[in-house]
Amino acid sequence: MHDMSAHAAQHGAATSFIRKHVFSLDHKVIGKQYYALALVAAVVGMFLSWLMRIHLGWGNFAIPGLHLLSSVGAPGDVMTPEYYLQLMTMHGTIMVFFVLTTAPFAAFGNFFLPIQTGAEDMPFPHFNMMSFWVTFVAFLVMVAAFFVPDGPTLGGWTQYAPLSAVGAIGGPGQGLGVVLWAASIGIFCIGQLLGSLNFITTTLDMRCKGMSLMRLPLSAWGWFITSIMGLTAFAVLMPACILLILDHLAGTSFFVPSNLVINGQILPHSGGSTLLWQHLFWFFGHPEVYIAIVPGMGIVSHVLITNMRRPMLSHRVLIYSMGALAVLSYMVYGHHMFVSGMNPVSAIAFSFPTLVITIPSTIVVLIWLGSLYGCHLRINSASLFALGFISMFISGGVSGFFLAQPSLDIMLHATYFVVGHFHLVMGVAAMFGIFAGTYFWFPKMTGRMMNETLGQAHFILSFIGAYCIFMPFHYLGMAGNVRRYQAFTDDYLIPLIPVHKFITISALVTGFAQLIFIYNLIYSRFKGPLAPNDNPWEGTSLEWSTATPPPHNNFGDKMPVVYHDPYQYSVEGASADYVMQTSPEKIASPNEEK
Amino acid sequence: MATTVHEPPKIDLDRLPSQGSGNGGGRNPVPAGGDLRRIKPSSPPPASTGIWVGLAAITMTFAAFTSALIVRQGSGPDWQHFALPSILYLNSLIIIASSVTLEIARRHITSFMVSKTEGAAPAGWLYITLCLGLLFVAGQTFAWLQLRSQGFGLATNISYSFFYVLTVAHATHLLGGLGGLVRVIGKLNHSTLRRSTLNATSLYWHFMGALWLYLLLLLWMKL
């Protein structure tokens, strides 16, 4: 340890309640705030999905009290077609932005990136505080759409133009609802840009002595790569939202074409490009998929290594593969637009990198599986969810091969096949990454342990439930079930209704299983058994070498010095099963990076 | 009449070692049992990296606006060409001049830091830069008002829409640069100014100048 007793923290420990728990500059508090926000958002998003699923299974079912949410959208507690689309839009938006982006990246990254790099805090703590509160305001603006007269927008989380840009004439929520949506996402972008700025500079400049880039844990690499993606992707989405708002409020014509007739009325706009929105949105939108999943890859790798008691087959190749995913994610966005009428040559140009991106994905998966092969995995809630992550990522990824080919995608694009694909590979996988991280780092974050029995029950129900929900989606898609239909008329879709009912029941059961997690989380936070020591999982990275919970400046009077790679497990000749990064003990390890 | 006596400015030559972390293991991996005294701080100050990260984000934002302009121009026949307000060319000279004065200021202050001279820090060129920056914003405002008085508003035509969006977006970012200059002057006069802060602010300001010249060229070619 390097004596830092004379060194001052970047900012002193807060003393007032407001500065300590509300407008805190401490990255750990901010991380917890992000986590709490994501948890609330996840509950809201899941509740919306329940309402949608009940409507899909039993179209005329009166959901008690639904009229309280919207008397117009649910007269007599029965959902109108428009309201179904509004709930669907809000479900997708809230889950993608405020859960899948916020929890694995902003929440865990804020708490653990500075600690894993050996820093006292982020270099720009005021920006960090602003990033959370800006995100919080964005969430409030988004949710406020439920309480305006027309309700939230019904255009889907992608907000395709011209529907999103024509104003109230486009339907319920297409006026003020879209403006609130675009304003919320624009504000959200600012928060993520501020966060990414801190993450990148923390990784590059704040590492402690001895912490070379290759000595960073895989979770830190996941956050670092994601922050670079976030910086470039959100910087593009924000101007798109500004242009969309201007089309609404200033009467400009960025996205609305000439002579567009809606409800018998010619709109005053002229010459706008509907494809322009798609280009701007998907330039952000596809990297966003990796913004949601790459932190999970890092977290899951970190969790698995600790429980396998041995490093991955190749630390470097895993990092390079995650980096390749990030780079390629910008080259493939056009595959979301195969049915937009794009030039077939362009389609091939986007199809090729889409197929290529499966290579680093496959390498990552093979490294995970190869590393798991023959190991004596410690089975606990965290490692189970990490395995579940891999399972979901593979299952969802396989269907990506089909969708990468324009000839197949044209048939499958607007069906439930796509919905099943992205829910598994991006949604459920990322959620499993969040769960793995929660069970793994909970002792460090709170000083208490979560209940293992409840955790494993939560895993079993979630794992089975997720497959029961999303695998049938692929079948529905191949059977021609178009996505975003809120009801099934007397046609070929009628025989599929029992499948929808099965999915709905599965979704309700799986949703209730999440209550086990929430109970476990809240109960353990206050009443759970105290963590037996600072390193209950016998990990090697820096978060396990400091106190539990970590002090204000993370490491107290002694700043760490790093001597080893992050994952020195089962080291021959070492005094224990593992060697901490901060241990000056000399070891002869074949795993040590040079 | 009371006289306020300020303490001489305290200026850091580099990032203080008391920052605790950030000694940068990147180029200094510590071998087990190695001699810690041989490990020298090597990381740049976070402000130096942070400003480049921020500029990368701004570059992406304006790249998005640019691609939107190009795609939108080609999507319909309604694009109207118009002559840019002539004051924009004067504004361009002003922002170039502001970069020159800021560079002079930066060099004077850096020399002052190295020489560790007692007395007031040379802030004069910073004030001139600040005035030029404000003059630029005033000039841009004049251009907007001039167009508006001629009946050309944000929604008149898509070409005007892009003119307003790009110039307002640039001016908004430039206001951030003015805030940075005020902060530098404040720190120089009343507290501790780090060289990295001065350099980062200068870099941001020069970038705003370069960005404006790029936007002017783009608007001149496309509008």
Over the range B195-204, which residues count as b (16 or more CB within 10 Å of their CB) and which as e? bbbbbbbbbb
3-class DSSP state of A80: coil
- Output the CA angle A11-A12-A14, nearest 5 degrees: 115
Asked if B155 and A124 come within 8 Å (Cβ–Cβ), the reply is: no
Tell me, what amino acid is at B90? L
The predicted pLDDT at position B42 comes to: 55
Substitution target in B15, B21, B148 with the highest count of A β-carbons within 10 Å is B21
| Statement: residue B2 has pLDDT above 60 | no
Are B15 and B126 in contact by the 8 Å Cβ rule? The answer is: no
At residue A356 the predicted structure's pLDDT band, cuts being 50, 70 and 90, is: confident
Q: Is the peptide bond before A152 cis (omega within 30 degrees of 0)?
A: no
- Residue A544 resides in a domain: yes
Residue B153 CA from chain centroid, whole number: 28
The predicted pLDDT at position B111 comes to: 85
Q: What is the mean pLDDT of residues A484-488?
A: 85
| Statement: residue A424 has pLDDT above 70 | yes
Asked if A123 and B79 come within 8 Å (Cβ–Cβ), the reply is: no
The predicted pLDDT at position A2 comes to: 40
Task: Indicate the average pLDDT of chain B.
Answer: 83
Superfamily covering domain B85-222 = Cytochrome c oxidase, subunit III, four-helix bundle (1.20.120.80)
The predicted pLDDT at position A10 comes to: 58
The predicted pLDDT at position A343 comes to: 78
The predicted pLDDT at position A198 comes to: 96
Q: In terms of Cα–Cα distance, which of A476, A546, A526 is closest to A504?
A: A476
Please report the number of interchain residue pairs, chain A to chain B, with beta-carbon separation below 8 angstroms: 191
The predicted pLDDT at position B32 comes to: 54
The predicted pLDDT at position A589 comes to: 61
Distance between CA atoms of B165 and B185, rounded to whole angstroms? 30
Q: How far is CA A249 from CA A109, A150, B71, in A?
A: 37, 17, 22
Are A292 and A430 in contact by the 8 Å Cβ rule? The answer is: yes
| Statement: residue A165 has pLDDT above 80 | yes
Tell me, what amino acid is at A98? F
- Residue A4 resides in a domain: no
The predicted pLDDT at position B99 comes to: 96
Q: How do residues B111-136 score in pLDDT, each as one tens digit?
A: 887 776 666 677 889 999 999 999 99
Distance between CA atoms of A560 and A553, rounded to whole angstroms? 12
| Statement: residue A159 has pLDDT above 60 | yes
Asked if A273 and B72 come within 8 Å (Cβ–Cβ), the reply is: yes
What sign does the dihedral B172-B178-B180-B183 (CA atoms) show?
A: negative
Cα(first)–Cα(last) distance of chain B, in Å?
58
Asked if A242 and B158 come within 8 Å (Cβ–Cβ), the reply is: no
Longest dimension (CA), chain B: 76
Return the residue of A nearest to B40 by Cα.
Answer: A209
- Residue A3 resides in a domain: no
Q: How do residues A306-350 score in pLDDT, each as one tens digit?
A: 999 999 999 999 999 999 999 998 888 887 787 777 778 888 888
The predicted pLDDT at position A407 comes to: 84
DSSP-assigned beta bridge partners for residue B203: none
Which CATH number belongs to the domain containing residue A48 in this structure?
1.20.210.10
User: Of the candidates B48, B68, B77, which has its C-beta nearest A271's C-beta?
Assistant: B77
Q: How do residues B138-190 score in pLDDT, each as one tens digit?
A: 999 999 999 999 999 999 999 999 999 999 999 999 999 999 999 999 988 88
Query: Which residues of chain A make contact with B20, given a CB cutoff of 8 A?
Result: 4, 7-10, 119-120, 553, 559
Asked if B64 and A585 come within 8 Å (Cβ–Cβ), the reply is: no
The predicted pLDDT at position B34 comes to: 53
| Statement: residue B36 has pLDDT above 80 | no
- Residue A197 resides in a domain: yes
| ipTM exceeds 0.85, yes or no | yes
Q: What is the mean pLDDT of residues B201-208?
A: 96
Q: How do residues A112-122 score in pLDDT, each as one tens digit?
A: 999 999 999 99
Task: Indicate the average pLDDT of chain A.
Answer: 91
A254 to chain B, closest Cα gap in Å: 7
User: Of the candidates A4, A114, A210, which has its C-beta nearest B30's C-beta?
Assistant: A210
Report the range out of A18-27, A215-224, B65-74 with the highest average pLDDT.
A215-224
At residue B3 the predicted structure's pLDDT band, cuts being 50, 70 and 90, is: very low
| Statement: residue A593 has pLDDT above 70 | no
The predicted pLDDT at position A476 comes to: 94
Q: What is the mean pLDDT of residues B80-108?
A: 94
Q: How do residues A77-100 score in pLDDT, each as one tens digit?
A: 999 999 999 999 999 999 999 999
| Statement: residue B22 has pLDDT above 70 | no
Checking DSSP bridges between strand A578-579 and strand B192-194, what pairing results, if any? unpaired
The predicted pLDDT at position A484 comes to: 87
- Residue A285 resides in a domain: yes
Distance between CA atoms of B219 and B213, rounded to whole angstroms? 10
| Statement: residue A577 has pLDDT above 50 | yes
Burial label for A196, CB within 10 Å (0-12, 13-18, 19+), is: buried
Asked if A231 and B33 come within 8 Å (Cβ–Cβ), the reply is: no
Q: How far is CA A419 from CA A400, A430, A474, B43, in A?
A: 11, 15, 8, 45
- Is residue A276 within 8 angstroms of chain B, CB to CB? yes
Residue A29's H or E segment, with its range, is: helix A27-57
Query: Which residues of chain B make contact with A124, given a CB cutoff of 8 A?
Result: 46, 50
The predicted pLDDT at position B13 comes to: 40
The predicted pLDDT at position A515 comes to: 95
Asked if B57 and A235 come within 8 Å (Cβ–Cβ), the reply is: yes
The predicted pLDDT at position A541 comes to: 95
- Residue A66 resides in a domain: yes
The predicted pLDDT at position B15 comes to: 37
pTM, full prediction: 0.91
- Is residue A2 within 8 angstroms of chain B, CB to CB? yes
Can you give the residue range of the structural domain that contains A227? 28-259+269-579
Q: What is the mean pLDDT of residues B28-44?
A: 53
- Is residue A575 within 8 angstroms of chain B, CB to CB? no
Asked if B32 and A564 come within 8 Å (Cβ–Cβ), the reply is: yes
| Statement: residue A49 has pLDDT above 50 | yes
The better pLDDT of the pair A21, A281 is held by A281
What sign does the dihedral B141-B147-B149-B154 (CA atoms) show?
A: negative
Q: What's the number of domains chain A is made of?
A: 1
Query: Which residues of chain A make contact with B21, given a CB cutoff of 8 A?
Result: 114, 117-120, 206-208, 559
At residue B6 the predicted structure's pLDDT band, cuts being 50, 70 and 90, is: very low
Alpha-helical regions (H) of chain B: 46-75, 87-115, 124-149, 158-190, 195-222
The least confident of A161-170, A398-407, A510-519, A523-532 is A398-407
Tell me, what amino acid is at A101? T
In A283-342, the residues whose Cβ lies within 8 Å of chain B are: 283
